[in-house]
Structure 1
Amino acid sequence: MQHPVDVLKKQRIKSLVIRSDNSTAVFDIYKQRTTITLIKKIKHVYKTIEKLGIQIQITYLPEVKNEIADAQNRLSKAGDYKLKEKIFLQTCLQMNLNPTIDLFSQQFNNLLPRFMSPIRGHGEIAIDALNQAWKKEFHWIHPLILLIQIIQMKIGEDKIREMIIVPLWPSQMLHTELVNQNVQYLILGRNSEILEPGTLLIKKNLKLPSGKICCFMMDRRPDKEEYMQEQFQEQQIYLMEQQT
């Protein structure tokens, strides 16, 4: 909302309509209910448009079906799931990587002894990983879908490396950016085979969506950028084939 402010002023925009086929995103913006980091950004947007005297309308487009994205977001909202421990161990072994801390977990779904939690609970070493320093660690990240882009930006800014778990969505720009930034990847399998639902997920009747999940080792250290560019095209072709 930084650069668009000048455009809104110049064109004297008086009303703004936000339409989305993602019901979760619409709900979050309308109710201003999401993670600590994102709520600050949403409130900033509201304050900006109020200062400019702009009316805003947020609507959901039910006729546009985006079932996978909505299902993934509902799953992330529940938070009551985890990657199966045996899959986690196999992934680390196959990729020959040893993460030192789990950034987006809680006591019931952390895969490493040291972890950060989005909310205060038991055993976490810090709250809200996005507001913490990420250097001097090798992080395991299994984030909410809506946090992936913000995490990418932080990794780029801090020039660090991470292991991140995300849906296999080759048609999405977000996925393309992840492929462009990674130096190593592994397709873990289908959600139903590698994720373990918890009691809350089952109670709310939230089913794991169809599709596959990938693990990317992202490395934005300066000496790795040239290598990443060389690997991008080959990896994108392979991932597109795996989606089918």
Structure 2
Amino acid sequence: MDFDTVEWLVRPSQKRVDKLQNLVRLLKGKNVSTARELSSLLGQMESMAPLVPLGRVHKRPFQAALRRQWDQASQGWNVRIGLGSWFSNTISVWLLPWVSQGVPIVPPAPENILVTDASMTGWGAHLADQTASGLWDLSLAPQHINVLELEAVSLGLRAFLPLLGGSHVQVHTDNTTVAAYINRQGGTRSQKLSESACRLLVWCSSHNILLSAKYLKGTLNVLADALSRGDKVLHSEWTLSHQALDRLWVQVDKPCIDLFATRFSTRLPLFVSPFPDPLAWAVNALDLDWTNLQAYAFPPFCLLGKVVRKVDLEKPALVLVAPLWPSQHWYPDLLRLAVRPPIPLGVRRGDLLQPRSGVPHENPQALQLHGWILSESLCVVPGPRPQL
């Protein structure tokens, strides 16, 4: 490969380009070739793909066509394959000058983070403080969820195109397959998904968008998930009403930071979001140092074990809302850390709800939600320490 330190690009060497293009011209002059020779050509394309713009995108049509013409397991390497129009139509692009254009030596850092999600009913996306969403039409509704997730990425990019043109956009998705098909510029397991990913990447290139993808855990993809599901209940996204929390604030000083919230669910002036959000004070509460922090937390129940361990290690002044569930593994440690008996919140129907839709929890009393005071530095009404 050749490094251009003026343009800051890396290209395949001219010798390498000539070798590939000479083989293409040689095969275009034939009527038949062996599977071994065609596989060698495919291997040369793959080796050069990281050094040319959308290299794998341009390789995929030939790769897919060759798979239709030849079955390695049953036919072997020496079988002769006719080189009809399928070959010429998928290979000629490798004779064009773009093969020598090169790619950045170091890809630029992402300038925009687009978070997307899809459900069987609709899609959602958010970019900074802006959101977009919609429902599937009849032609898309029956599709596999992987297809819908990739379509959500496409719709999100188009919705925010005026803000994204000319930048590196990193898509955050909770679908590992979609992330892989974007980053690897297609794939071999699903031809439909591969073709859709390649079309999307070509569209992005036409708008001078460099597209990459990153896997985001579904439990952290809260806002896009909510946008894609309309008024569906999200079990990781409950918030307490202000009235319910007022029963807590009369007994303890109100902090100003909500550690597990979105812009819709926060109950305090500052909040820590599970995903990048310009309105948030910080991102991902479990990655922060809680030492000397005064905060409120109502985390998803699946995170309570990690929260209790972090409190034990870093000793923040924390007001925690958690269920009174003695059978849970984290419960003995929570009792040990509490400086007074847990405060019953007396949560009634309508006190626990979905922040965007306002849908109430069916049976909040069964959760036995309590306020746990986990620091002596918080001003509380005196009371005996809880007993194990």
What SS does structure 2 have at the residue aligned with 1:123? coil
1:157 offset after TM fit, Å? 1.0
- Partner of residue 160, structure 1: 316
Greater shift in the superposed pair: 212-221 or 192-201: 192-201
Q: Which has the higher helix share?
A: 1
* CA distance 1:122–1:207, shift in 2 (3 Å): farther
One-letter identity of the residue aligned with 1:113: P
Cα distance in structure 1, aligned partners of 2:249 and 2:324: 19
Residues 1:139 and 2:139 are matched in the alignment: no
Contact 1:160–1:220 (Cα < 8 Å) also in 2: no
1:177 offset after TM fit, Å? 2.4
- Partner of residue 91, structure 1: 248
1:169 offset after TM fit, Å? 1.4
Name the structure, 1 or 2, with higher relative contact order (CA <8 Å, separation 6+).
1
Contact 2:315–2:375 (Cα < 8 Å) also in 1: yes
Cα distance in structure 1, aligned partners of 2:218 and 2:363: 21
Cα distance in structure 2, aligned partners of 1:197 and 1:220: 32
1:35 offset after TM fit, Å? 4.5
Contact 2:234–2:354 (Cα < 8 Å) also in 1: no
Contact 2:241–2:352 (Cα < 8 Å) also in 1: yes
The TM-score normalised by the length of structure 2 is: 0.36
Residues 1:117 and 2:290 are matched in the alignment: no
| Runs of 4+, deviation exceeding 6 Å | none
1:191 offset after TM fit, Å? 5.4
What SS does structure 1 have at the residue aligned with 2:345? strand
One-letter identity of the residue aligned with 1:231: R
Contact 1:168–1:214 (Cα < 8 Å) also in 2: yes
Identity of aligned residues (%): 23
Larger-gyration structure (1/2)? 2
Over the aligned positions, Cα root-mean-square deviation in angstroms equals 3.2
1:96 offset after TM fit, Å? 2.7
Cα distance in structure 2, aligned partners of 1:148 and 1:126: 20
1:119 offset after TM fit, Å? 1.3
What SS does structure 2 have at the residue aligned with 1:215? strand
Residues 1:187 and 2:344 are matched in the alignment: yes
The TM-score normalised by the length of structure 1 is: 0.54
1:33 offset after TM fit, Å? 4.0
One-letter identity of the residue aligned with 2:370: C
Cα distance in structure 1, aligned partners of 2:349 and 2:272: 26
* CA distance 1:183–1:75, shift in 2 (3 Å): farther
1:136 offset after TM fit, Å? 3.5
Contact 1:104–1:118 (Cα < 8 Å) also in 2: yes
Structure 2: segments with no counterpart, 5+ residues = 1-173, 178-215, 221-232, 378-382
Structure 1: segments with no counterpart, 5+ residues = 1-27, 37-73, 222-227, 237-244
